[in-house]
Protein backbone atom coordinates (compact mmCIF):
# COMPACT_ATOMS: atom_id res chain seq x y z
CA UNK A 1 0.00 0.00 0.00
CA UNK A 2 1.18 3.49 -0.83
CA UNK A 3 1.80 5.69 2.21
CA UNK A 4 1.51 9.44 2.56
CA UNK A 5 4.90 11.11 2.85
CA UNK A 6 6.63 8.30 0.94
CA UNK A 7 7.80 8.33 -2.65
CA UNK A 8 5.03 7.50 -5.13
CA UNK A 9 5.76 4.28 -7.04
CA UNK A 10 7.01 5.15 -10.50
CA UNK A 11 5.35 3.61 -13.55
CA UNK A 12 5.00 3.97 -17.28
CA UNK A 13 1.69 3.41 -19.07
CA UNK A 14 0.20 4.05 -22.51
CA UNK A 15 -2.13 7.04 -22.78
CA UNK A 16 -5.34 7.56 -24.71
CA UNK A 17 -3.22 9.09 -27.50
CA UNK A 18 -0.85 6.09 -27.63
CA UNK A 19 2.02 8.01 -26.03
CA UNK A 20 3.88 6.56 -23.05
CA UNK A 21 3.60 8.50 -19.78
CA UNK A 22 6.13 8.00 -16.98
CA UNK A 23 5.25 9.44 -13.58
CA UNK A 24 8.85 10.41 -12.76
CA UNK A 25 8.99 12.61 -15.88
CA UNK A 26 6.35 14.85 -14.30
CA UNK A 27 8.54 15.83 -11.33
CA UNK A 28 8.42 19.52 -10.60
CA UNK A 29 4.63 19.60 -10.84
CA UNK A 30 1.97 18.16 -8.54
CA UNK A 31 0.14 15.16 -10.00
CA UNK A 32 -3.41 14.06 -9.31
CA UNK A 33 -3.44 10.33 -10.02
CA UNK A 34 -6.96 8.98 -9.90
CA UNK A 35 -7.94 5.35 -10.35
CA UNK A 36 -11.43 4.52 -11.60
CA UNK A 37 -13.12 1.23 -12.51
CA UNK A 38 -14.42 1.64 -16.08
CA UNK A 39 -14.83 4.13 -18.89
CA UNK A 40 -18.28 5.55 -19.61
CA UNK A 41 -20.10 4.11 -16.60
CA UNK A 42 -22.25 6.52 -14.55
CA UNK A 43 -19.96 6.98 -11.52
CA UNK A 44 -16.77 7.12 -13.58
CA UNK A 45 -18.33 9.61 -15.99
CA UNK A 46 -19.45 11.86 -13.11
CA UNK A 47 -15.99 11.73 -11.60
CA UNK A 48 -14.27 12.49 -14.91
CA UNK A 49 -16.65 15.37 -15.62
CA UNK A 50 -15.85 16.79 -12.19
CA UNK A 51 -12.14 16.82 -13.00
CA UNK A 52 -12.97 18.26 -16.44
CA UNK A 53 -15.08 21.06 -14.99
CA UNK A 54 -12.37 21.99 -12.45
CA UNK A 55 -9.50 21.56 -14.91
CA UNK A 56 -8.73 25.29 -15.16
CA UNK A 57 -8.23 25.41 -11.37
CA UNK A 58 -5.87 22.42 -11.54
CA UNK A 59 -3.90 24.12 -14.31
CA UNK A 60 -3.69 27.36 -12.28
CA UNK A 61 -1.99 25.33 -9.55
CA UNK A 62 0.34 23.70 -12.08
CA UNK A 63 -1.14 20.25 -11.45
CA UNK A 64 -1.31 17.38 -13.93
CA UNK A 65 -4.43 15.19 -13.76
CA UNK A 66 -4.07 11.54 -14.82
CA UNK A 67 -6.94 9.04 -14.84
CA UNK A 68 -6.08 5.32 -14.71
CA UNK A 69 -8.30 2.31 -15.37
CA UNK A 70 -7.91 -1.18 -16.83
CA UNK A 71 -9.63 -0.08 -20.06
CA UNK A 72 -7.74 -0.01 -23.36
CA UNK A 73 -6.16 3.03 -25.00
CA UNK A 74 -8.93 2.98 -27.64
CA UNK A 75 -11.66 2.91 -24.98
CA UNK A 76 -9.97 5.82 -23.21
CA UNK A 77 -9.78 7.79 -26.46
CA UNK A 78 -13.53 7.32 -27.05
CA UNK A 79 -14.35 8.23 -23.42
CA UNK A 80 -12.15 11.31 -23.52
CA UNK A 81 -13.61 12.50 -26.83
CA UNK A 82 -17.23 11.83 -25.86
CA UNK A 83 -16.99 13.86 -22.64
CA UNK A 84 -14.45 16.51 -23.72
CA UNK A 85 -11.91 15.50 -21.08
CA UNK A 86 -8.88 17.84 -21.15
CA UNK A 87 -6.57 15.51 -19.24
CA UNK A 88 -4.76 12.26 -19.97
CA UNK A 89 -6.21 8.79 -19.40
CA UNK A 90 -3.82 5.89 -18.90
CA UNK A 91 -4.43 2.23 -19.76
CA UNK A 92 -3.54 -0.31 -17.06
CA UNK A 93 -5.05 -3.47 -18.62
CA UNK A 94 -2.98 -5.85 -16.50
CA UNK A 95 -3.78 -3.75 -13.40
CA UNK A 96 -0.08 -3.75 -12.54
CA UNK A 97 -0.06 -0.08 -11.46
CA UNK A 98 -3.38 -0.45 -9.61
CA UNK A 99 -1.84 -3.35 -7.68
CA UNK A 100 1.31 -1.35 -6.86
CA UNK A 101 -0.88 1.45 -5.48
CA UNK A 102 -3.01 -1.02 -3.50
CA UNK A 103 -6.28 -0.22 -5.26
CA UNK A 104 -6.82 -3.53 -7.10
CA UNK A 105 -9.04 -5.28 -4.58
CA UNK A 106 -11.57 -8.05 -4.15
CA UNK A 107 -15.13 -6.81 -4.49
CA UNK A 108 -18.36 -8.48 -3.47
CA UNK A 109 -21.35 -7.59 -5.60
CA UNK A 110 -24.66 -9.44 -5.30
CA UNK A 111 -22.94 -12.37 -3.61
CA UNK A 112 -20.30 -12.64 -6.34
CA UNK A 113 -16.65 -12.01 -5.65
CA UNK A 114 -14.46 -10.40 -8.27
CA UNK A 115 -11.41 -8.21 -8.54
CA UNK A 116 -11.57 -4.56 -9.49
CA UNK A 117 -10.49 -0.98 -8.82
CA UNK A 118 -11.21 0.64 -5.49
CA UNK A 119 -11.93 4.19 -6.71
CA UNK A 120 -9.04 6.14 -5.21
CA UNK A 121 -6.93 9.25 -5.77
CA UNK A 122 -3.33 10.00 -4.90
CA UNK A 123 -2.10 13.59 -4.77
CA UNK A 124 1.62 13.53 -5.51
CA UNK A 125 3.69 16.61 -4.74
CA UNK A 126 6.27 18.19 -7.05
CA UNK A 127 9.02 16.12 -5.39
CA UNK A 128 7.28 12.82 -6.21
CA UNK A 129 6.03 12.12 -2.67
CA UNK A 130 2.45 11.11 -1.87
CA UNK A 131 0.93 14.18 -0.22
CA UNK A 132 -2.52 12.62 0.18
CA UNK A 133 -4.02 9.16 -0.38
CA UNK A 134 -7.80 9.21 -0.77
CA UNK A 135 -9.15 5.65 -0.85
CA UNK A 136 -12.66 4.45 -1.66
CA UNK A 137 -13.88 7.87 -2.77
CA UNK A 138 -17.34 8.84 -4.00
CA UNK A 139 -17.43 10.31 -7.52
CA UNK A 140 -19.74 13.23 -6.80
CA UNK A 141 -17.82 16.28 -5.62
CA UNK A 142 -14.52 14.42 -5.56
CA UNK A 143 -12.67 16.85 -7.85
CA UNK A 144 -13.41 19.65 -5.36
CA UNK A 145 -12.19 17.52 -2.45
CA UNK A 146 -8.93 16.92 -4.31
CA UNK A 147 -8.50 20.65 -5.01
CA UNK A 148 -8.86 21.31 -1.28
CA UNK A 149 -5.85 19.12 -0.47
CA UNK A 150 -3.68 19.98 -3.48
CA UNK A 151 -0.40 21.45 -2.22
Torsion of CA 36, 40, 44, 47, to 10 degrees: 120
Contacting residues for 27 by C-beta, under 8 A, at least 6 apart:
126, 127, 128
Nearest of 104, 112, 111, 114 to residue 135 by alpha carbon: 104
Catalytic status, residue 44: yes
8, 33, 44, 66: which is the annotated catalytic residue? 44
- Positions marked catalytic: 44
Amino acid sequence: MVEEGKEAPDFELASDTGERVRLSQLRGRPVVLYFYPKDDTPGCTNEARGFRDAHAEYEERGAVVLGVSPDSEASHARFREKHGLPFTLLADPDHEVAERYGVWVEKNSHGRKSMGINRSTFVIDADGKVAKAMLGVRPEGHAGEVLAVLP
